[in-house]
């Protein structure tokens, strides 16, 4: 059974992320979405909130048979622990490539048995990022074109508290 991990901070998950999940699911026997802590980012949602939003978003979009976990660890160590054959990443724009290339080389150096697999984003989602979604919603604009309803509601609740 070929297992892949799709890691990310998912703060919050977007329609672009969900598109990558659907497509990756077709390529592998088993897919795990790993909501990861990232010490270089300051997330709006806690790790557990992000995990729940990913699960609810998958349910909302009728995406089944995807496991969702939350971890604060080194990704390649998690991939090794779970027996993953591949790490899935999405590429939107050229600046994504530079960072992903560096990360892939580092991961390969740490464990050459785990492949990095890149899926080009659907052009409809190429401009969407979690950061942009949060900024737009912070100022009260609708983001339903970019995220599932459950995420838009959660963002609205967060920004009412700010």
For the full predicted model, state whether its pTM sits above 0.75.
yes
Question: Is the separation of the CB atoms in 76 and 111 below 8 Å?
Answer: yes
Give the full edge-to-edge strand order of the sheet including 86-91: 66-71, 30-36, 3-8, 86-91, 115-120
Structural domain spans, the chain: 3-161
Catalytic member of 89, 130, 134, 137:
130
pLDDT at 41: 86
pLDDT at 92: 86
Catalytic member of 61, 80, 92, 108:
92
Burial of 45 from C-beta contacts in 10 A (0-12 / 13-18 / 19+): buried
pLDDT mean values, one per 10 residues, the chain (162 residues): 96 97 97 94 95 98 97 96 97 82 92 95 90 94 96 94 62
61/103 Cα distance (integer angstroms): 30
Listed residue (128, 130, 129) closest to 155, CA to CA: 130
Catalytic site residue 123? Answer: no
Catalytic site residue 92? Answer: yes
pLDDT at 162: 55
Considering the domain delimited by 3-161, tell me its CATH architecture. 3-Layer(aba) Sandwich (3.40)
């Amino acid at each position: 059974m070929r297992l892949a991990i799709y890691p990310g901070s998912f703060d919050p998950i977007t329609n672009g992320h969900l598109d990558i999940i659907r497509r990756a699911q077709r390529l592998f026997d088993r897919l795990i979405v790993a909501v990861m802590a990232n010490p270089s980012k300051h997330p709006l949602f806690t790790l557990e909130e992000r995990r729940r939003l990913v699960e609810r978003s998958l349910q909302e979009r009728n995406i089944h048979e995807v496991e969702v976990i939350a971890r604060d660890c080194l990704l390649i160590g998690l991939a090794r622990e779970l027996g993953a054959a591949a790490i899935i990443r999405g590429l939107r724009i050229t600046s994504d490539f530079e960072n992903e290339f560096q990360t892939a080389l580092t991961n390969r150096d740490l464990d050459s048995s785990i492949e990095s697999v890149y899926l080009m984003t659907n052009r409809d989602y190429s401009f969407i990022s979690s950061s942009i979604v949060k900024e737009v919603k912070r100022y009260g604009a609708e983001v339903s074109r970019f995220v599932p309803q459950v995420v838009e509601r959660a963002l609205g609740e967060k920004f009412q508290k700010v």
